[in-house]
Structures are given as structure tokens and as C-alpha cells.
A and B are shown apart, each in its own frame.
Chain A
Amino acid sequence: MAETATKEFLHNLHELPQTVKDSCFRLGKEPESEREESQATFHNLFLHIHSVRVHVRTLKPTLTFGLGLAATASFLITLITGVLLMVYYKPSTDLAYQSIKDIHFTVSTGRFIRNIHRWASQLMVLVVLLHMARVFFTASYKKPREFNWLVGLGLLVITLALSFTGYLLPWDQLAYWAITIGSNIANSPRELTDAIGITKFVDPGGFQKRLLLGANYVGQDALIRFYVLHVFVLPLALVTLLGVHFWRIRKDGGLAKPEDPPGGLAEWGGERRPVFQPLATKTYGLMALVKGKRPPVNRGPENTVMSWPHLFWAELSVFMVTVAVTLILAFYSDAPLKELANAAIPENPAKAPWYFLGLQELVSYSAFMGGMLIPMIVLVGLALIPFLDRRPGGEGTWFGTSHERSVFWQSLFFACAVTVGMLAFTVNYGWLRNWFPNIQQLWIIVINPGSLFVLIFAAWSLFILKRKNSVRLAAVSLFTCFLVGFTLLTYFATVHRGPNWHFYWWPSQWPAH
């Protein structure tokens, strides 16, 4: 008897690699049948948020360009490199700058990791904006996906906040003065309350600024506050909302896709083949029978493919492309770091990070209108889109409804003309206070290029609404105007604004100072 136990023990020892592998991986081999492929997805903690089958149309690269995935990938890259940076970064005004310098010079490959972090975060903001544009132009916000659009807006705000809070952490001239601008934008309701004279009683601007900075100036309190937001609170919020965002994709029936022709894709020459092979065992288990709407799996199964491997190849490749792009950028271009923050030497021009520069241009006309009101109007407007445009049709296709493409181009040119014209006008002729030096500030808050943009674009959108008799087309025109305005203003404030926010044709013309 002892002999057999020893043999048993040795046999188990010998089989150790195989048994360990079998315990980790249920299947233990490449899935060979569709049932096994579905199990690979369904039984995996990390993968089971995906549906087991996906519609083949959603895999088309030119439908989504993988933008949502790229945004998630950028976030993950930023997260990982961020944790690595946290090992060396010290969030104290005395130590922060030097710790960044030490990461750059002495930490092994620290320079590269910091560059990756910076580039991935910039990429994330850009991709998130492009993703929003893609979702809009493919009308993927329509029923039942309205809530997911709102979640996406929440994610946009958190992404911008993450980037903004991270901007301060190096504690260099760039950081200090950009956040000074940002906090003064938070202070901008003062412009309105001062103009009406109620600041003594009601001071939302001052409150917002103090909430942001933890003091009346940018200092140690602001640094710690921003650090906590940046490494804990905001990533937690982002991950939570991301979870909701992905979950909603499932519950809303997967990515929005174009309509199938009535006879299924086979009508278009795709091969017809039986999908389900009869097997001895059941392919699915009944979990419960409840009253209610059935899940929107109302497309023919021959239009779907297994997630394993097709969807996961797609996801992996998008992740990898994002990583590759980030690495290339990080290899050739260093993350900026200017001199130590010095409250006595303002940067001139002191510019906010690029995604806020368009806003800063508007703030240069009126702090309250450009800094508070217009962003609120934009956010509320974006949030309302799925609730105002409820006519179904055209989802999942770029410019899916009729005339959408032409309205898009018309709005593009219109918005370009209006934006460039307004900018040229203000550069050459100034604005109200140049002509009427003693004019009341309230006039300027109400009538300034920012508010005029809003009015003109809204008017254009109403014009399209009437003319084309379509809410969707009105939304397209307004959204296009917003995109064009945002892009042109960001470009203008980046390239053509120099010291004292004066106009220059090119940065090489800035006076040396």
C-alpha cells in the first residue's frame, strides 16, 4: 500500500506542469468548436463583458476606427506609466520639480516612461474627442443608446480633468502659470457678479477658485489636491464610468451598426452556411424566464461571428497600434519641462494646455462667457442631442440619413468662414472696449465674439432645421460648427497668439524677452 501511494505521489509530481495548466485554463487548448470559442469568452473574468458573438459589420475598421478602444488603450498606458512615475514623484512644492528632473536624468529609462505618460495622455484627450465625433456622425446616440452618450460625456469631462490635474504636478513655469489661468477661469463668474455689483453677497467665482486651489493662490495646497485627484479620485471615477460605458454597450445590443438587408448578408453574396452544428449537449442554459422586452438580438445569426478570435484580434491590434504610436512619439520627442515655478516671473504668454486653448481665446474676450457659460452651453447642448433627435434611422453608418454629407460640408465651410472672419475682425479692429473705452462690462459679457459664435451657429442650425425639415440635420450642422470652431480656435490660440495675447503670424516673430 505504501508503494502505491509513493507511486501516486511521484506520478502527480511528474504531471505537475500539465495539472497546473489545466487548473488555470479550463479548456487547456485552442478552442476548436464554436462552443469552445464561446466558452473562452463567457467563462473568462476579463473577457466576459464582451458578447459571445459580434455582428460582422461592427468589425469593419472604417465604422469606428477603433477610437473608443484607442482611448481605453491610451488610458491603460497612462495608468501603467503613471504608477511607475508615482514611485519617484514627490508631491511637495520643494521636491516635485527636482523629482521630475531625477526621473528624467537618473532613473533607468525614466525619461522614456515620462515621455510615454505625457504623450499617451495627450493622445487620450485627442482620441476621446474624435470618438465623440465618430459616435455623433454615425448617429450612434439614438435610442436605446442615449444614456451611454451621457456616460461618454461624463468620461470626456473626467478625461479633461485628469489631464488638467496632471499638468500641474511637474511644478514648473508651464504648469504653474497654466493652472493659474485655469483657476482664474474658475474665478470668472466674478466678472458677472462684479458687473452687477453682488460679489459681496454672492461669490460663486471665488468659491470655485478656492475649492480648486485650497487657497487663494497656487501653492502646496493646490499641488496636493491636484495630486490626489489625479492619481486616485479621477482614475477611480473614470474606471467606474468606463465599466458602465462598456456594460451599456452590451445591454444596448452591441455597437451601433448599419441595417442589414432584409434577406441577411447572404443576399449580398456572402456565403450561406449553417451556423449551429447539432451537438449532443445544449449550447446554452436557460437562466430565468421573465416578462419584459427581449434583448435586441434581432438580427440573423449568419451576420454574426464569434468574438473569439475575431473581436479580440481587432481589440488587440488597436491596443498595439496605440502603444506603437505612443512609443514612437515618446522616443523622438521629450515631454516639456521649463524652469522651476516662480511666482515672480510670469510666463508671457501663459497658455493653458492645448485642449483648453480654444477656451482661453474665448476667455480673452470675456472671462465669464468664455470660461463658464459657453462650456456649460456646449455640454448641455451635447447632452441634449439624443433627446432632441429621436427619429430612428441611419444609425451605424457615417452620414446615414440623406443630405447629411452635404449639410456637413456646408456647415464646415460656413463655420470656417464665420470663425476666421470673426477672428480677423477682432485682430484688426479690436472689440467694444477699443471703441467705447468706458462701456459697462455687462455689454461685453453679453456681446463678444464667443457669444456671437454661439448665436450665429445656433441661427444656422435653426435655418437648417427649417430648410431641410430634419432635426438630425440641424444637429449635424450645429455639431459640425462646434467642431470647426473648437479646432480653429485651438489652432489660432496655439500658433497666432504671443506675448500679451497679441496677434502674431508666427511664433518666430514674438519679441525676445
Chain B
Amino acid sequence: MKDPSRIYRWLLLVASVVTVVYLVGAAVRENYLAQWRTVQQEYRNILREKATDDRGRELLAKFRVEMKQASIPALGTVDRCVTCHNGVDDPRMADVEQPHRTHPGHILDKHPVDRFGCTVCHHGQGAALMFREAKADDVFWDYPLFPPEMTESTCVTCHDAEKLPPDQIPLLTVGMRLYREKSCGSCHKLGGRGGALGPALDNEGAKTKHQLIMTNLRPPHTTWAWHNAHFRDPGGVVPDSLMRNPTVTRQEALALTTFMLSQWKRDVPESYLAPDKIEQKYRALHPTPLTGEQVYRQYCTACHGNGTYTRWDKKFSRFIPAIRGVSLISTATREYLQANIEQGRPGTQMPAWGPHAGGLLREEITGVIEYLRAGALAPPAMTALTLHGDGSNGLSLFLRNCGGCHGMNGRGGMAPEIGNPVFQQAAADEFILRTIRNGRIGTAMPAFQRTEAPAFSDQDTADVLAYLRTLGEAKSQKAMSQNATSGTPSGGKP
């Protein structure tokens, strides 16, 4: 019979040849053709060209083609960037092409690579030995390499940004300023201070791309691309977002993005913290209060504008009260303003700002109240109310005249929620009477007892007041029986 193993011998030959080819190929590719090896051989040529003096020749003689790394146990990093970036601390390499070029600026003077590594400032995958995986923006790595201009966002890991020279951190400086100017704190908390409509931003820099909604973004899906797009069009990036468009230029969006990425409570050993950072941490324990105007600008402007007129907000679908309107501040007492600011209006977009909620200090609240009341006029004399109000008539009057804006049961709508427990508790009868009678200048609240053609008589006003007070009782009873669900305004509820 014919040779039964002939075919197997041929198969063995072919398979063996293939095996040897691929083994040798792999050995060559992994070891001799490794990207870093080629780069280092290029660098050695450059060193040769530049070996014109003793120091140059010494460096050339000492140079070996091998893997190099900066291993920093204190920071928990092993950075192999220097395997390719050999010239990073050699000033002669300033005019050479990357990856051999010197590090720009004088950063390395105070931040030598063997003490800091590279990824603590630049992020990226430090342990990698191929550039694509070091850059890590389309591989599975949580913190890809920053674009060069955004590297300054990591300075705050060890430094107090306010104490660094602004020309060293241009984007961060602008970003910090814009955060205050655009009144981002109206809705977002930073350091425990701010509003509650949006998420707290304290660890925004620690977020990975998996924690951000990338559905409406075109690739690349990086955290900074997300922030950039979000600042230029919040509603387009986050569906159902309540955030108003901050209307920033491209450069300003970049600055704000850098500021956002700098928000990372990262634990570094104390030996790495700059003295001003340690002072900043101590200062945070005993903060200096802001002035009333500063508080207003940073925490109120986004919703209330300059406060002298009522604002129609499209996303909230309501009028936002004019809290510096002449009518309001002339009729409201300090206690009323304090209650509303400290407790907010639970169930609406107005959050609580007291020390345990919005993080404002007592002095700051007092300060902002004074700021609001600047320019208050003495209220005109009012005839004392001696009439007894009839709640049922008040109800029908309310339905016909007030409910359209203030909602059924005073639950609010376009106009403030006068059934809100904080309002009901804080507002005095006289306050409500004056408001109904005289209206509010600069807002949509009409005067119901205008002298020319009054819509209400004194009795009518008393009836409406009586009805309004029943709303407060009902709400507070309901609140007590439901174990008080106040305090967390849900975004979007009118």
C-alpha cells in the first residue's frame, strides 16, 4: 500500500517552516524592531552630532540603548516615557524634532523627572513602551495623555492655583475667573458650596470617559472633548439638561475645560505638596467670608440675573423672581429674606443656601441680604387690615385671578409657589397684603388694588389672604404626614 504518512511529512515540513518563520519574526519584531529601540538609535545619532565638547562626548559614551524608567513608589507610578523621550532634560535638544526634544519651559528645573515622573502632570499610560499605548486615547486606559495646552490642569494637585504666576497657568487662571463670573455656583457645588440643580464638580477631573454621556459627541470620546462641547452647548450634549448656554468663546471653553479637569482630589504624599497648597488646605478650614456682592455674583446671577426684573426661563418654564426688585425688598423683612435664602424653596429650583446645605457662611448670607436690600425704599403706610377673610370666596378669586400663573393649590407654575412651606412660614401677612395690593414693579405681578381701577376690594384681598393661609396649613400637614420630603428640589419641576 502506498505510504500512509507521506502527507503528514509534507504537512510537518510546511508547518515547521511557518513556525520557524513566525518565531524568528516575533523575536525580531518584539526585540530588535521595537519602536523604542529605533527611537533610541536615532537619539544616539543625534548625540553623536552634538558631541562637540567634553560634556557632549561624555553623554554619548554613557548612553546605552535599553529600557529606561522613572519608578516613583511614593506616587505609585512607573513612567517609561523617558525610554523614547531621552532628550527631555538635555537643553541642547531644544531644536530637535520630537520625541527627542527638550521639555519646554523651565518646569523640569523644579520638577525633575526622577522625582516626579511624567504621568503625574501629563497623564497617559506611563508603563507603556509604544507611543500609541502611552498616549492611550483609543486604547483601554482611564486617563489618556492630556493635550499639551491642558497640562496645567494638574498643577493644582500640589499647588494653590491662586498663588502660581498667571502666565504659567493662563488657561487655568481664565477658567477660575470665568467660573465665578458666569456664576456656575448657582447650580453646581464646588468645595461644598453652591447650588443643587447640577452635579457637584469636586471630582470632575477624576471622571473617566465611561462616566460621561458620549451619545451626542463625535469621536474622539475624551473627557476634555466632552467638557469642551458641553460648555459650548450644554443641551446638545446632555439630553434634558437645564443648564443655560454660558455663551463662551472657543478659548474660554478651553479655559473652563482646563479648570474642570483640575478638579481632582488626588492623594499625593505631603512631601510633594507646595507650601502654598498646605496653606490653602488650612485656609479652607477657616474661610474668609465673601462680600455680599461677591456672593450674589457667584451664586445667584445665573438664575436671577441682576435681580431687578423678573426673568422668564425657558428651561424652567417659569418666571424667576426679581429678588432685588424694588417692590420686593421694600416689603420683605430681613427675616423673610434670610429664611428663603437659608432654606430655599423645597420642591422648586431654589436650593437651600444655609451653611449645612449650600455651604454659605452665616456672615455671607447676612452680607448678601444687605446687598439685596441696598436701595430699599421705606414702604408706604398701609391701612391696617381689620377685615376677616373668607377662604371660600378667596378660593374663587384665586382661581380666577391668580391660579393661571401661581398654579392650582398655589403649587407654582410660571410664578412662584406660594403654597411652599418656607414661603408660608417666612412671609408675614402684611408682606402678602402689600404684594397683592401694590404688585411688583418690573415683574409680571400686577397690582390688584391700583388706585385707578382696583380689581380687588379690601375684603377681596383679605379673602385671598385667608385662602392662601389654608394652603400653608394643608401643605405643612401633608409635609408632616409624609415625613417631610422637602429639601431636594427636583430639576425641571415647575
Contacts and interface: CB of A to CB of B under 8 A. Distances in A.
Nearest to A60: B4
Contacts of B80: 105-106
B15 A512 contact: no
Contact of B1 (A102, A111, A172, A271): A271
B215 A320 contact: no
Contact of B211 (A98, A305, A311, A345): A345
A105 B1 contact: no
Contact of B213 (A323, A337, A338, A513): A513
Contacts of B127: 98, 101-102, 105
B30 A111 contact: yes
A160 to B, nearest CB: 26
Contact of A105 (B8, B19, B128): B128
A511 B239 CA distance: 14
Contacts of B31: 108-109
Q: Considering residues A98, A105, A320, A321, which has the most beta carbons from chain B within 10 angstroms of its beta carbon?
A: A105
Contacts of B78: 98
A313 B30 contact: no
B4 A339 contact: no
B1 A59 contact: no
Interface string A292-306: 000000000000010
A314 interface: yes
B12 A317 contact: yes
B210 A317 contact: no
A112 interface: yes
Nearest to A345: B210
Contacts of B26: 109, 112, 327, 330-331
A316 interface: yes
B208 A345 contact: yes
Contacts of B213: 513
Contacts of B5: 59, 309-311, 313-314
B36 to A, nearest CB: 10
Contacts of A339: 140-142, 208
Interface string B249-290: 000000000000000000000000000000000000000000
A56 B30 CA distance: 44
B221 interface: yes
B19 A313 contact: no
B22 A328 contact: yes
Contacts of A423: none
Interface residues of A, number: 43
B67 A317 contact: no
A173 interface: yes
B11 interface: yes
A340 B25 CA distance: 31
B129 A320 contact: no
Nearest to B22: A327
Nearest to A338: B140
A340 B214 contact: no
A511 B140 contact: no
B211 A337 contact: no
A351 to B, nearest CB: 15
Given A112-B26, A305-B4, A340-B142, A512 B12 contact: no
B23 A105 contact: no
B17 to A, nearest CB: 9
B19 A324 contact: yes
A265 interface: yes
A318 B12 CA distance: 8
A317 B15 contact: yes
Contact of A270 (B1, B22, B128, B130): B1
A61 interface: yes
Given A337-B140, A339-B142, A320 B30 contact: no
Nearest to B31: A108
Interface in B216-230: 217, 219, 221
B19 A56 contact: no
A316 B12 contact: yes
Contacts of A271: 1
A328 B4 contact: no
Interface string B7-27: 111011001101100110111
B15 A320 contact: yes
Contact of A317 (B3, B11, B22, B219): B11
B9 A313 contact: yes
B25 to A, nearest CB: 7
A271 B3 CA distance: 12
B9 A317 contact: yes
A106 B67 contact: yes
Contacts of A314: 5, 8
A317 B8 contact: yes
Contacts of B214: 512-513
B377 to A, nearest CB: 55
A323 B19 contact: yes
A61 B7 contact: yes
Contact of B30 (A59, A109, A172, A512): A109
Interface string B311-342: 00000000000000000000000000000000
B30 A108 contact: yes
Given A323-B19, A327-B23, A512-B214, A310 B4 contact: yes
Contacts of A172: 140
A330 B27 CA distance: 12
Q: Considering residues B15, B16, B31, B130, which has the most beta carbons from chain A within 10 angstroms of its beta carbon?
A: B15
B139 to A, nearest CB: 9
Nearest to A111: B30
A331 B140 contact: no
Contacts of B9: 313, 317
Given A320-B12, A331-B26, A105 B215 contact: no
9 closest pairs, A vs B, by CB? A320-B15, A317-B12, A310-B5, A313-B5, A338-B140, A317-B11, A327-B22, A317-B8, A324-B18
Interface of A: 56, 59-61, 98, 101-102, 105-106, 108-109, 111-112, 172-173, 265, 270-271, 305, 309-311, 313-314, 316-318, 320-321, 323-324, 327-328, 330-331, 337-340, 345, 511-513
Given A109-B31, A314-B8, A513-B210, 6 more contacts: A102-B127, A106-B129, A310-B3, A327-B26, A512-B214, A512-B217
24 contacts: A56-B1, A59-B8, A105-B133, A108-B30, A109-B26, A112-B26, A112-B30, A172-B140, A316-B12, A317-B15, A318-B11, A320-B12, A321-B11, A323-B19, A327-B26, A328-B18, A328-B22, A330-B26, A331-B29, A338-B140, A340-B142, A345-B211, A512-B219, A513-B213
